[in-house]
A = this chain, B = another copy of it.
Amino acid sequence: MEAVMLAQTQTKPVQNPAFAQSKRFVQVTSGLDAPGFTMTFSRDEEIYGEGEEAEFVYTVVSGVVRTHRVLDDGRRQISSFHFAGDVFGLEMSAEHLSSAEAVTPCEISLVKRTVLDRMTQENPGCARQLWELASRELSHARAHLMLLGRKTAVERVATFLIELGDRDEDDEAAVKIPMSRTDIADYLGLTIETVSRTLTQLERDGAIELPNCRQIILRNRAALDRLDA
């Protein structure tokens, strides 16, 4: 779905001859429409670390990825979760400014930054697309700032559930929760206990239902929207 959006915003299908030529040699084409290859990562495996050289740009083919930063004493803040089609790890700086790990087993497509750099020089639309990606992330980060700085625990959890629900492609009654309570807590700037308590509170209030801890039914979407503020 994100991949579709990217394709739409792409000015033209990239007529770099080197690209067309290499197409048959690469294992896969990423959401970036650039030659690359794929890798698989198992649960909790590191994809790249903060401070490492930003050699590649990544696209989620399947699975879920988290990007985060940690303080010396272990406090962790997850800045975002990335789902199928999402691009991540795209940095302007030479080094990655956050770490990325697999939340679930996942398949990731990698594109060399040098390849991307060359493409941007030849195709102005490509540079624009990169700008668009950075922009989208910035927009998400801004929304997240409001959540972390000003929202209460219930509001944070409600916002999170709506966000997840919107991304869940197969819109069954139940939203699948791919990440642990710890991940949710570190994303929302709360503790696992508060996340858990808030979820059961929302269940008592009839807003959601918790068949098991990895599946949530949004029973009263309006109530959640009200909390989303």
Residue of B nearest to A188 (CB): B149
- Whether the Cβ atoms of B71 and A146 lie closer than 8 Å is yes
Cβ B189 vs Cβ A79 within 8 A: no
Residue of B nearest to A117 (CB): B128
A12 to chain B, nearest CB (A): 12
| A145-B141, A189-B149 known; A92-B136 Cβ under 8 A | yes
Render A62-90 as a binary contact track against B, CB cut-off 8 A, 1 for contact: 00000001011101110100000000000
A97 proximal to B (CB < 8 A) = yes
A residues with CB within 8 A of B: 69, 71-73, 75-77, 79, 91-93, 97-98, 120-124, 127-128, 130-132, 134-139, 141-142, 144-146, 148-151, 186, 188-189, 229
Other A-B pairs, 6, CB within 8 Å; known A120-B128, A122-B124, A150-B189: A75-B151, A91-B135, A120-B124, A134-B138, A141-B145, A149-B189
